[in-house]
Structure formats: structure tokens, C-alpha cells
A and B are shown apart, each in its own frame.
Chain A
Amino acid sequence: MNGATDPFDEMRDPAGAVRPAYAGYSTWYDEQDPNWLRRKNAEAEGVFRRTGITFNVYGEDAAEERLIPFDMIPRIVSAAEWRRLSKGIEQRVRALNAFIHDLYHRQEIIRSGRVPERLFRDNAAWLPDMVGFTPPGGVYTHVVGIDLVRTGPNDFFVLEDNARTPSGVSYMLENRETMMAMFPELFTRVQVEAVSDYPMRLARSLAACAPAMTSGKPVVAVLTPGIYNSAYYEHAFLADQMGAELVEGIDLRLVDGRIAMRTTGGYQPIDVLYRRVDDEYLDPLTFNPESVLGVPGIMDVYRAGGITIANAPGTGIADDKAVYSFMPEIVEFYTGEKPLLPNVETFRCVDPDSLKYVLDNLAELVVKEVHGSGGYGMLVGPAASRRELAEFRRKLAARPENYIAQPTLALSTCPVFARKGLAPRHVDLRPYVLVSPDRIDITPGGLTRVALKKGSLVVNSSQGGGTKDTWVLKD
């Protein structure tokens, strides 16, 4: 797994033959006029720009809006592959949920010695306010995104668990809409599982987690930090598609023991709040007193059974990169089964032997900050300059507990539509998982992120990556 061999090509085998999952698409593609495809490609950007499918970039001209580049060659997963992935994802999500519940209650996994106490004690995402409290329906991670990478025909690895507020699902939906608008006949040739009912499923799943005080049909609202937030487009999109209100902190207040939104006819209680605001801004009375993004008193209402917060506060404890390295143990502890989806081999720099190995092999490794996200605060050894390596050596020596390291994976490639035709680029995959008290619902597909630069392994949108439509084939 050190990148010496050719990466796995999702579309073609080493002999150049098209793999079965891509057979239908490939036949269609070869029949198309290349000039027409080129025109279609240019059209796609116009569609995204006009419909305003954008994300905001902080720090530039007061939140400039940008497009995430869209590549029109789909990433295709066979029905059999998807079944296998789904089982692994479901197992993992079940374990994540049980793990969070355990950490905030009896902490049996720590007492058993399977994971060290420091895992939550040193963790910034640990919320003492959640100790001993069980959220409505016992659900912590209502919406989860599991980042997967592939290195071989049967080798899928979990790269990251996004248990607090996974974003990007609007791109999954818009990418499909765009593909269907551009190539309608293609979808009659190749049978693809639909993703378009995700917002309905989300609304249903959230409503199924309504709190005790709900009377009648649960009122669901999406809480956004506002139009300058990087993911505002997605917040508005999901609220729109769910038929829910899109609220900001200033719209909400505590009224008669409930959290209510200010409507033109007065205050109306909310039952389920799908929040896209971080824990620390959620309640200025409990957390950051400076914050105007949240709602004063919401934690008290929450604890009294007056509202469901999705995802539950304190859930971030589970998607810390230090916790990630223990996921195989965690899955086994709570499910009694071996993990169906393996982790990427991970060195915990807090462990002196691992630290020594990491320092000795820094140029071959990817080093990640334990609490970092979005591709920030990370070192990609093979692509790093001498100076960057030296800088990370210093950082590692100073605060080893802050870092984990992983081998540079030979991430699989998918073709993208380049000027001279198809060209392989590295991809990852984020399927979206909905959790309610009685079911775990995985949308067939997900967000495929693609590194648009040749050879690059960085697929994050904040670092210049793009996205593709992801197809799960019907049997």
C-alpha cells in the first residue's frame, strides 16, 4: 500500500478490458460524438452557475461563492459491491451509535480496557452535559457520512467517519439531476438506483426521532448559521426538499418550555431540529456565550424532552481521528462481529514506538491532525517539500498526541472527462446513512469526490477537488 504499484482502475482491468459494472456505460460513451460530449461538459458548468449550486469560501472578499467542479463521467458501483458495502456501513454505524451511548453512560468499553480513558478525557468534542442523558429514541448520529476509499477489487477501507455534520449530500442529488437532464436516454440504457428520495427519507427518519413532548405531526426545521456559511446552499436545499423551515438562531427562542420559531402568526414549537451549527455555538447559556448562532436554553429543553437535536450534541466524540484508530476494537466490542469494512492502517503518534516509525518514514506517510477536518492541518509525505517535512517533524515532536499517521494509499482511480478524452483520477466515496430508532437507511450512491489534478490524492472541495455522480446499478 505504498503507491509503488499502479492504482486500481475502477473502469478497466490491467489488460485494458472494461469491467462489468462499466459495460453499459462504456458502450453508450463510445457511441457518442466527442464534440457533442465536449459541448455538454461546458453546458454543465453553466447549469450549476445559474442554479447557484455553490459553496462559500471564507476569508476571500467576504465569502465569495464558488462552484465545486463537476465531472460528467459517472462513478459506477455494481449491485453486489454495494450490498457488501452496505452491510459493512450498517455494522459500523450501529457500533458508532452504541459507542457514543456507552461513553456517555456506563463506559463499559473503557472499563473493559479495550480503549483508553484519554480518548474522551482529552477530546474537545466530549460534552459533559450529555453524561447520563439519552436522546429521544436513543439515536446520536442521525445523519452519518462514511468516507470510503478503494485500493483493489475487494479492498474498500474506511478513511473517516463523519458522525457530527456530514455535508455534501446536496451535491449527490444535484449531480444526479444534472446527469439526468444532460443524458436522459443514458438512464434508459443503464438501470441505476434512484437517490432522489433522500430528502423524503431524511424527513421521515428525523420525524421518527421526535421527542416526548411532540403532539401531532412532528415539526422539523433545519438550523443554519446563515447565508455566509460555506454550506448554506445545502442547508437551504435540504429544507426546501424536505418541506421544512430553514431557521437561524435569531428566529428561535424558548417559549413555554419549548424551542419555538418566530412565524408571522406568532411562536410555533419545533420538535426536531436538524442543526448544521457546531456544538459549541448551539447554546450560549451552556457553551460559547459569544455565539449568536444558537438558541439560549436549548440544552435545558433538550434534556427535558422538549426537542430532538440532530445530530445529538457530543456526537463528535466518535469521529475524532484518534477514535478512528480504535474503530476495529469498537465495532467488535458492540456488535460481537469482526468489522466488515477495515480501517486504513493507522499509527497513533502518542505511542512512542509508532512515533519513532512515523518520524523515520515521514516522507512515505500521510499525517493528520487528530481534530482537523477538510484537509487542513495535514501532511501528504510524498508530495511535501523538505521544509514542510521539517516543520511537521517539529510539530510531531512537540505534540505527538495531536497526530495520527497513515500509509499513502494507492487510491483507486475513475476516469474524468479531460480535454483529450478520458483520464484516470483518484476518487473517494461518501455514502450517506440515516439512523432512526428502528432502522438504518443507506441511500444507494453517495458523493464521489475526485482529485482533478493528475496524480493528486487530495479530493476535498476546499482543496480544489471535484465531484461526480455515483451510480449503484440495479441487479
Chain B
Amino acid sequence: MLARTANGLFWMFRYLERAENTARLLDAGMRMALTRDLVTAEEEWRSVIHAAGQGAAYRAKHGTYTGIQVWNHILRDRDNPGSVLAMMRQVRTNARGVRNAISGELWAVVNESWMALDDKLSRPIGQGSVGEVVGMIRRAGTLAHGAMVNSMLRDAGYNFARAGTFVERADNTARILDMKYYLLLPSLSYVGSSLDSGQWDQVLRSVAGDRAYRWLNAGQTDPRGIVEFLVMDQRFPRSLSHSHHQLGANLAALERIHDAELPSGALIRASCDSLVDLSIEKVFEDGLHQYIQGFLGRNQAIANAIVQDYRFMG
């Protein structure tokens, strides 16, 4: 397929995934803030901004971390190129660019979601409607994935789209995990405190893993179990392991289609092997942050290799 089209599909789904994860993060922040006082929950909102990777852009504009400022910045601020609105515009622009490579159903749900969000986000979002907007964004992701799975030809384009989804999901889940470990606790003495376990619960919520985790772990909320779940549990669709195994399957399919073994394939195979061999004891021994940083680097290297291997940029 045309390399520019492959690139467009890859990024269409990366942006879609990023927008959806940002919305989930916001949702978790909301719940966290609600357990305190909505307006003064500074720390909670600060962590949301950091986890979304928007610290610098936010600080350039605001001095305080209030809910209404944070969610309007993240969702719709015109000066914020990383806003959900800007990401959804990227989703739609990429979809327009690859229109003849996606099904009519997929185009229609992306276009409709965009129109609805563009309209909704044309006005400031108050406390009463932030939940609704977050729901709209999550639904946009769900609809797009559903339309794709149900209607798209299983050719190279499908695999590039899925590759974009899982590269981005792996990155996002890893960052959310990292933020908890590094940023949220005021000091080491808080480890194991109620603040600590409440925050771990929010980590689970922000990747929509709270119910699945409780189901599998009978209500035990401990950091080790949660990290194991989010890093290594292949059954959970947002875990690092699931994301990389899916990515591996899509890259393997692309290698078959192109009849070539490529560096991106070698990198993802190595990553999957290392995830299978991983023990959670080892992760905590070496440090979760160190592990996550290493994982993020490997994930980025795979993304770069895809761009090279499939000639996205010329």
C-alpha cells in the first residue's frame, strides 16, 4: 500500500488512542478530586496534567491547578496543540487523507464523532458536563474500533492502524504507571498510606482496569499486584504485555505481507520475549521507574523502526 496512506492510518489511530487515554486520565482526576474538595484538589489535578505530558504548556498559561482550568486546558484550549480537540482534529484530518483506505462506516463514525465533539467543545466545559464530554471521547474511540473491526479488510492498512493503536497504548499505560510512582507521593514515608493506596486505585481507574483487577484479585489493592496486572497480565487489554503482543501480531502480519523480516519485527519479538520472562520481583528490585523508562525507550525505538521499515517519510 501507499506509504503515505500507511503513515496516515498509523497516526490516525495513535491520535485516537491518545485522545481516549487523555479522557480516561481526566476521568480519574475527577474522581480523585471528588474525594476531596473539587476546587482545591491541587495535587490531584497537577498529577493529571503531568501524566498527560502537558506540564510545560500548562504552566506557561496558568499559575494554579483547579479542576475547571485543567479540564478546559486539556480538552479544548486553542493554545494547546495537545488538547483532546486538537487530537481529534488530527484523527479526522488523517482519516480524510486515507479515506480510500478505510471503510465508509469507519469514516462516518469518525466524522460524526468529530462534529459532535467540535460542537460540544466550542464552549467552556463546566462541572456539569465534563463527565459527558469524557464519555463522548471514550465512545468515539469505541465506535471507531468497532467500525474498523467489523468492516475493514484485513490487509496491510488494518495492521498499520492496529500498530498505531498499540504503540500508543503501550506508551500511555507506561506513562500513567510512571507518574504514580514518581510524582504523586509527597515523600517516601507515604508509601503504603491511605493516600498511596487511593492513588493506586486511581491509576487502575485511569486505564479502566479497576473492575477487571478486582475481579481477578478479589478486592486486594496492593501496588505489587497492580503493577503486575498493568505490566504483565496479557488478559488486560491496556497492559504493556497485551499491547506489545498485539503489536507483535500486527507487525508479524505486515512482515508476511511484505515478505521480509524487518528491524521493527526483531525489536517487538525481543520485547515480547522479555515481557514473558519478566518477574515482578525483579521490576521492584531494579526500580519500577527504571523499568518503565527502559520500556518507553524500547517502545519508541519500535515506533521509529516502523517508520523506517515501511518508508513512511520517503
Which A positions have Cβ atoms within 8 angstroms of B? 49-52, 226-227, 232, 236-237, 239-240, 245-248, 250-251, 261-266
Instruction: Identify which of residues 256-314 in chain B touch chain A, using a CB-to-CB cut-off of 8 Å.
Output: 258, 260, 310-311, 314
Given the contacts A51-B104, A52-B111, A240-B100, A263 and B1 also touching, CB distance less than 8 Å: yes
CB of A266 within 8 A of CB of B4, answer no
- Say yes or no: is B108 at the interface (Cβ < 8 Å to chain A): yes
CB of A264 within 8 A of CB of B258, answer yes
- Say yes or no: is B50 at the interface (Cβ < 8 Å to chain A): no
Inside 8 A of B97's CB, which chain A residues have their CB? Answer: 226-227
CB of B96 within 8 A of CB of A52, answer yes
CB of A246 within 8 A of CB of B100, answer yes
In the complex, which of the residues A49, A226, A245, A250 has the most CB atoms of chain B within 10 Å of its own CB atom?
A245
Inside 8 A of B5's CB, which chain A residues have their CB? Answer: 245-246
CB of A265 within 8 A of CB of B96, answer no
- Say yes or no: is B15 at the interface (Cβ < 8 Å to chain A): no
Inside 8 A of B111's CB, which chain A residues have their CB? Answer: 50-52
- Say yes or no: is B180 at the interface (Cβ < 8 Å to chain A): no
CA distance A192 to B210 in the complex (A): 58
* Pair count A-B, CB < 8 A: 64
Inside 8 A of B258's CB, which chain A residues have their CB? Answer: 264-265
CA distance A368 to B73 in the complex (A): 52
CB of B4 within 8 A of CB of A262, answer yes
Given the contacts A50-B108, A50-B111, A51-B111, A264 and B100 also touching, CB distance less than 8 Å: no
CA distance A227 to B95 in the complex (A): 10
CB of A251 within 8 A of CB of B99, answer no
- Say yes or no: is B39 at the interface (Cβ < 8 Å to chain A): no
Inside 8 A of A236's CB, which chain B residues have their CB? Answer: 96, 99-100
Partner of B96, one of A232, A239, A251: A232
Smallest beta-carbon distance A219→chain B, Å: 12
Inside 8 A of B4's CB, which chain A residues have their CB? Answer: 248, 250-251, 262
CB of A262 within 8 A of CB of B314, answer yes
Inside 8 A of A232's CB, which chain B residues have their CB? Answer: 96
Given the contacts A50-B108, A51-B108, A51-B111, A263 and B3 also touching, CB distance less than 8 Å: yes
- Say yes or no: is B222 at the interface (Cβ < 8 Å to chain A): no
Inside 8 A of B100's CB, which chain A residues have their CB? Answer: 236-237, 239-240, 245-246
Q: Which residue of B lies closest to A65 (CB)?
A: B96
CA distance A262 to B1 in the complex (A): 8
CA distance A51 to B156 in the complex (A): 24
Partner of B1, one of A49, A237, A239, A264: A264
CB of A264 within 8 A of CB of B310, answer yes
Q: Which residue of B lies closest to A47 (CB)?
A: B108
Beyond A52-B111, A247-B2, 20 additional pairs, beta carbon < 8 A: A51-B107, A52-B107, A52-B108, A227-B96, A227-B97, A240-B99, A245-B2, A245-B100, A246-B2, A246-B99, A246-B100, A250-B314, A251-B3, A263-B2, A264-B3, A264-B6, A264-B160, A264-B254, A264-B258, A265-B258
- Say yes or no: is B142 at the interface (Cβ < 8 Å to chain A): no
- Say yes or no: is B112 at the interface (Cβ < 8 Å to chain A): yes
6 example contacts (A-B, Cβ-Cβ < 8 A) are as follows A52-B111, A227-B96, A261-B2, A262-B2, A262-B4, A263-B2
Instruction: Identify which of residues 98-132 in chain B touch chain A, using a CB-to-CB cut-off of 8 Å.
Output: 99-100, 104, 107-108, 111-112, 115
- Say yes or no: is B93 at the interface (Cβ < 8 Å to chain A): yes
In the complex, which of the residues B2, B3, B97, B112 has the most CB atoms of chain A within 10 Å of its own CB atom?
B2
Smallest beta-carbon distance A245→chain B, Å: 5
Q: Which residue of A lies closest to B306 (CB)?
A: A264
In the complex, which of the residues B100, B107, B254 has the most CB atoms of chain A within 10 Å of its own CB atom?
B100
Inside 8 A of B108's CB, which chain A residues have their CB? Answer: 50-52
Smallest beta-carbon distance B100→chain A, Å: 4
Inside 8 A of A52's CB, which chain B residues have their CB? Answer: 96, 107-108, 111
Smallest beta-carbon distance B205→chain A, Å: 33
Instruction: Identify which of residues 1-25 in chain B touch chain A, using a CB-to-CB cut-off of 8 Å.
Output: 1-6
CA distance A50 to B111 in the complex (A): 6
Inside 8 A of B99's CB, which chain A residues have their CB? Answer: 236-237, 240, 246
CA distance A246 to B100 in the complex (A): 7
Partner of A50, one of B96, B112, B160: B112
Smallest beta-carbon distance B218→chain A, Å: 46
List of 6 A-B pairs having minimum Cβ-Cβ separation, nearest first: A240-B100, A264-B310, A236-B99, A239-B100, A262-B3, A265-B258
Inside 8 A of B104's CB, which chain A residues have their CB? Answer: 51
Smallest beta-carbon distance B106→chain A, Å: 12
Q: Which residue of B lies closest to A221 (CB)?
A: B2
Inside 8 A of B311's CB, which chain A residues have their CB? Answer: 262-264, 266
Q: Which residue of A lies closest to B309 (CB)?
A: A264
Inside 8 A of A261's CB, which chain B residues have their CB? Answer: 2
CA distance A52 to B314 in the complex (A): 29
CA distance A248 to B310 in the complex (A): 18
CA distance A52 to B113 in the complex (A): 12
Q: Which residue of A lies closest to B99 (CB)?
A: A236
Smallest beta-carbon distance B109→chain A, Å: 9
Q: Which residue of B lies closest to A52 (CB)?
A: B111
CA distance A386 to B2 in the complex (A): 55
Inside 8 A of A240's CB, which chain B residues have their CB? Answer: 99-100
CB of A227 within 8 A of CB of B112, answer no
In the complex, which of the residues B96, B104, B115 has the most CB atoms of chain A within 10 Å of its own CB atom?
B96
Per-position contact with A for B244-259: 1 when CB-CB < 8 Å, else 0? 0000000000100010
CB of A251 within 8 A of CB of B2, answer yes
Q: Which residue of A lies closest to B259 (CB)?
A: A265
CA distance A12 to B42 in the complex (A): 73
Inside 8 A of A250's CB, which chain B residues have their CB? Answer: 4, 314
In the complex, which of the residues B5, B99, B112 has the most CB atoms of chain A within 10 Å of its own CB atom?
B99
Per-position contact with A for B64-95: 1 when CB-CB < 8 Å, else 0? 00000000000000000000000000000100
Q: Which residue of B lies closest to A49 (CB)?
A: B115
Smallest beta-carbon distance A27→chain B, Å: 34
CA distance A51 to B107 in the complex (A): 7
CA distance A51 to B95 in the complex (A): 12
Smallest beta-carbon distance A242→chain B, Å: 9
In the complex, which of the residues A49, A52, A226, A240 has the most CB atoms of chain B within 10 Å of its own CB atom?
A52
Smallest beta-carbon distance A345→chain B, Å: 43
